Amino acid sequence: MMHAFRHTVLAAASLIAISCASPAFAATELTVQRFFGACDADFGSNTDVRKAVGECGIITSLINKFSVDNPDIKVSVTTVEWPGYDQLTAQFAAGDPPDIVTIHHSVLSDYQSKGLLMPLDDVLSAAGVKPEEFTDASRNGVTKEGKLYGLPIDNWTMLFHINMDLFKQAGLVNADGTPKLPTSVDELMADAKQFREKTGKPYFVQNLANETALYTRNLYTYLFQQDSDFFADPVKVKLNTPEAKKVVEMYKAIYDNGDTTKDLDYAGGINAFLAGEGGVHLNGTWMIGDYNASSETPGTALNKGGYAVYPYPQLFPGKKAQYADGHAWAVSQKDRTEEQTAAIGKFLKFFADNDFEWSRTGHLPSVKAVFDSAEFKALPHRDTVAAIADLGTSLPSTVQRQFAIQDIIGQEMNSAVTGQKDVDAALSDMESRVNDLLANL
């Protein structure tokens, strides 16, 4: 009896010694920093990704699922207020960046050019992820100097989110039941006037209060449509041009005519559209899932007559295009163990393998097989927005400080649209301010 007890104690002691000595029994720790909002009350413990909706719900559930599937990896998540780059820059300056971070394709160059991000070709290869698996748009978005500096998870753009009940009231519906969209600036102005007269509401719902991104993305789209190569030189922009003036004057006329909401912030714009306060909400791909869910909920404004969503209409003769960007996971450049690097590879592969789940937000998939799958095509409204794969156009990848540029352009465009500045003066200031920024990189 004593012999058996002694044998059991020795075996347990040996197991404890092995556990303490072997890294296989210790979780590998990874720090992950992301935007996309906080929603722990609804999805903080959810691991059934199919039950999740929206950007926050789906990314939270995906990370939860990864943690459950990989108990040997401890993931510590920090959620930052969008877009989080001031905080990320400060973390790099302090020498304490997160291991993995959400980042826009348009921002990668800011950090990659300073040697702060890790090239991922070897990490992805070791994890079984091949570059050719990704769409051209998503792969190109994370490729810098011939190497991959991010795992692309989507491409996104701005869209016309449409309240079909109000479009029917305004007489702006085609014979096949689709919304009648303008094909020129003059037609847009006429449609907006007709909409206002027949519904008593503005054609556009825009979040123009404390806003820069929407202004800038709108300008980029309609510059691309006019074949304006405004960033032919990545360190010197040309914005004081006839093409830019046409766009700004168009949005100023919309504002002056009362064809848009004026004093709404981002959340206010969403709430106004959900309440049926305007016909077209200018917002991104990420809203498709939420707006479609509202359209399927009895008693809501979108359920009353239906919801539709389309790319921005072609208003100028020229290239069929609109501004697009994308989201990715990037990895900070710092010393790591082989176990940590392998854990990062597992995390990135998990997101590549679950690209369909992320595409349910409304974003376009980064993985070709998902984009071409029947499952993706069966999602609501993907037939009307799939053209973005061809229309989507980004700024040249060599243009740095794109978010800072976005703020400058948005500020000056706001000044012109709201009448605080003459259009010509705003465009001149816009160009000079951006070029001053780029001259001091």
Identify whether the C-beta of residue 59 lies closer than 8 Å to the C-beta of residue 106: no
Question: Is 9 within a domain?
Answer: no
Q: What is residue 441's predicted lDDT score, i.e. its pLDDT?
A: 86
Q: How far apart are CA 182 and CA 186, in angstroms?
A: 8
| Token couple for 13 | 């002691």
Question: Which residues 6+ apart lie within 8 Å of 162 measured at CB?
Answer: 179, 279, 280, 307, 308, 309, 310
Q: How far apart are CA 95 and CA 183, in angstroms?
A: 52
Question: Which residues 6+ apart lie within 8 Å of 381 measured at CB?
Answer: 288, 292, 308, 309, 362
Domain range spanning residue 278? 157-324+400-439
The pair phi, psi for residue 310, each rounded to 5°, is -145, 160
| Token couple for 180 | 């009648």
Q: What is residue 12's predicted lDDT score, i.e. its pLDDT?
A: 40
How far, in whole angstroms, is CA 90 from its chain's centroid? 22
Question: Is 232 within a domain?
Answer: yes
Q: What is residue 80's predicted lDDT score, i.e. its pLDDT?
A: 97
Question: Is 3 within a domain?
Answer: no
Q: What is residue 182's predicted lDDT score, i.e. its pLDDT?
A: 98
Does residue 245 share a domain with residue 191?
yes
Buried b (16+ CB within 10 A) or exposed e, 329-368: bbbbbeebeebbbbbbbbbbbbbbebbbbbbbbbbbbbbb
Question: Is 273 within a domain?
Answer: yes
Question: Is 193 within a domain?
Answer: yes
Query: What angle (nearest 5°) sits at the alpha carbon of residue 45, between those of residues 80 and 74?
Result: 70
Q: Which helix or strand (DSSP H or E) is residue 338 part of?
A: helix 338-353
Does residue 431 share a domain with residue 314?
yes
The pair phi, psi for residue 272, each rounded to 5°, is -65, -40
Does residue 306 share a domain with residue 212?
yes
Does residue 210 share a domain with residue 89?
no
Q: What is residue 231's predicted lDDT score, i.e. its pLDDT?
A: 97
Number of structural domains the chain divides into: 2
Q: Which helix or strand (DSSP H or E) is residue 408 part of?
A: helix 402-417
Does residue 209 share a domain with residue 198?
yes
Q: pTM for the whole thing?
A: 0.90
The pair phi, psi for residue 417, each rounded to 5°, is -65, -40
> Which pairing describes strands 280-284 and 204-205: parallel, antiparallel, or unpaired?
parallel
Q: How far apart are CA 24 and CA 45, in angstroms?
A: 26
Question: Is 21 within a domain?
Answer: no
Question: Is 1 within a domain?
Answer: no
Does residue 298 share a domain with residue 432?
yes
Taking the CB of residue 263, how many other CB atoms lie within 10 A of it? 8
Q: Which helix or strand (DSSP H or E) is residue 331 part of?
A: strand 327-331
Q: How far apart are CA 285 and CA 359, in angstroms?
A: 10
Alpha helices in 48-146 (DSSP H): 54-69, 85-93, 108-112, 121-127, 136-142
Does residue 385 share a domain with residue 367?
yes
Query: What angle (nearest 5°) sits at the alpha carbon of residue 117, between those of residues 112 and 119?
Result: 95
How far, in whole angstroms, is CA 406 from its chain's centroid? 15
Q: What is the number of helices (H) and of strands (E) in the chain? A: 22, 14
| Token couple for 183 | 């094909």
pLDDT one digit per residue (tens) for the chain, 441 residues: 333 433 433 344 433 343 444 444 579 999 999 999 999 999 999 999 999 999 999 999 999 999 999 999 999 999 999 999 999 999 999 999 999 999 999 999 999 999 999 999 999 999 999 999 999 999 999 999 999 999 999 999 999 999 999 999 999 999 999 999 999 999 999 999 999 999 999 999 999 998 999 999 999 999 999 999 999 999 999 999 999 999 999 999 999 999 999 999 999 999 999 999 999 999 999 999 999 999 999 999 999 999 999 999 999 999 999 999 999 999 999 999 999 999 999 999 999 999 999 999 999 999 999 999 999 999 999 999 989 988 999 999 899 999 999 999 999 999 999 999 999 999 999 999 999 999 998
Does residue 246 share a domain with residue 231?
yes
Does residue 333 share a domain with residue 319?
no
CATH number at residue 296: 3.40.190.10
Distance between terminal CA atoms of the chain? 78
* Long-range CB contact pairs, 253-256, < 8 A, 24+: 253/189, 254/188, 254/189, 254/192, 254/203, 254/204, 255/208, 255/417, 255/418, 256/419
